[in-house]
């Protein structure tokens, strides 16, 4: 009896095409359902036979609770007024868990900052840049003292560099025991073996601000990003933002650091020209 070929998971064909475009070598579908626990694809470096390559596993991380929080945050974004401030501010929110219904955390931060401005020598400096939010002191036209314009990361389109260490911490969180990526990804890669083992992660902006920042991260932004502490054997991790074709693709390579790739077009020629063996009868 002939087995029905396994349908590819959402995101697998595009992941293969992205890796193929960036590396310039064939990236072939591998998991056709003929065997159990196959990796999704195999990368075939130049000069190697098609039966000798590096495993690639594609995974999508989502979090319905975070998506709901992001939706609530976006609905509450806009202009708010905080009495007693000496100027207007623009605030960029990355963390959807921050409350804007009664933003006491924001009032406290802005008032403390203005107090520090008045007497910096007697007070510790108040940071306006964190991984959860960025506060800008440059006023928009027409702003009055106390006007605060709040935007979510999804609304903002201007280039903005991610805080140093964000992506390293994000990968460590995703690959931690019980993390969103899951141990089966590492198990499949290790079972296949090879000098290189690649994990391709599709993420959503509400899941982690690092995925949202892929819309505007630029080459050079991650030149000083530290290496993550990831399980031995994992050599390459790809990060891409689901549903946003113009977003960058970030690649971490063990021993070589971080790369940021912006692609004008995606090649699909060799990526889909690989010989696929039919399922066993």
Integer Rg of the chain from CA: 23
Q: Specify the residue for token string 């960029």.
A: 92
CB 99 within 8 A of CB 105: yes
Q: Is pLDDT of 204 > 60? A: yes
Stated pTM of the model: 0.65
User: How far, in Å, CA of 109 to CA of 130, rounded?
Assistant: 12
**pLDDT tens digits, 73-112:** 445 456 778 888 988 888 877 766 665 555 778 888 888 8
More confident call, 11 vs 62: 11
Q: What pLDDT score was predicted for residue 50?
A: 55
- The two tokens of residue 108 are 């406290």
Specify the length of the chain in residues.
Answer: 281
**pLDDT tens digits, 159-198:** 456 667 788 888 988 898 888 887 889 999 999 888 999 9
More confident call, 182 vs 15: 15
Half-sphere exposure of residue 210: CA atoms within 13 angstroms, side-chain side? 26
Nearest Cα neighbor of 154 from 222, 80, 93 is 93
| Maximal C-alpha separation, the chain | 81
Confidence of residue 216 (pLDDT cuts 50, 70, 90): confident
Three-state SS across the chain? CCCCCCCCCCCHHHHHHHHHHHHCCCEEECCCCCCCCCCCEEECCCCCCCCCCEEEEEEECCCHHHHHHHHHHHHHCEEEECCCCCCCEEEEECCCCCCCCCCHHHHHHHHHHHHHHHCHHHCCCCCCECCCEEEECCCCCCCCCCEEEEEECCCCCCCCCCCCCHHHHHHHHHHCCCCCCCHHHHHHHHHHCCCCCEEEEEECCCCCHHHHHHHCCCCCCCCCCCCCCCCCCCCEEEEEECCCCCCCEEEEECCCEEEEECCCCCCCCHHHCCCCCCCCC
Q: Name the range with the highest mean pLDDT among 41-50, 59-68, 131-140, 252-261.
A: 252-261
Nearest Cα neighbor of 195 from 92, 5, 79, 42 is 42
Percent of the chain clearing pLDDT 70 (strictly above): 72
**pLDDT tens digits, 130-162:** 767 778 876 666 778 888 887 766 544 444 566
Residue-range domain boundaries for the chain: 12-64+162-272, 78-152
């Amino acid at each position: 009896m002939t087995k029905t070929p396994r349908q590819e998971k959402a995101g697998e064909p595009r992941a293969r095409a992205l890796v193929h475009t960036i590396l310039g070598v064939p990236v072939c579908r591998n998991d056709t359902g003929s065997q159990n626990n196959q990796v999704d694809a195999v990368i075939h470096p130049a000069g190697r036979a098609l039966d000798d390559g590096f495993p690639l596993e594609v995974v999508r991380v989502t979090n319905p609770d975070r998506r709901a929080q992001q939706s609530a945050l976006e609905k509450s974004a806009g202009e708010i007024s905080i009495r007693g401030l000496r100027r207007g501010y623009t605030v960029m929110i990355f963390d959807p868990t921050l409350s804007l219904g009664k933003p006491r955390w924001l009032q406290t931060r802005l008032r403390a900052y203005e107090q520090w401005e008045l007497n910096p020598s007697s007070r510790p400096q108040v940071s306006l840049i964190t991984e959860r939010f960025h506060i800008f002191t440059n006023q928009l036209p027409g702003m009055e003292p106390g006007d605060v314009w709040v935007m979510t990361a999804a609304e903002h389109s201007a280039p903005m560099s991610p805080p140093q260490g964000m992506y390293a911490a994000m990968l460590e969180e995703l690959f931690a025991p019980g993390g969103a990526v899951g141990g089966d990804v590492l198990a499949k890669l290790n079972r296949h073996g090879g000098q290189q083992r690649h994990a391709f992660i599709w993420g959503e902006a509400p899941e982690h601000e690092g995925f949202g920042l892929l819309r505007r991260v630029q080459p050079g932004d991650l030149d000083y990003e530290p290496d993550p502490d990831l399980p031995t054997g994992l050599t390459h991790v790809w990060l891409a933002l689901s549903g946003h074709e113009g977003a960058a693709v970030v690649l971490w390579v063990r021993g070589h650091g971080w790369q940021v790739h912006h692609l004008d077009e995606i090649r699909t020629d060799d990526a889909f020209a690989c010989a696929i063996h039919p399922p066993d009868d």
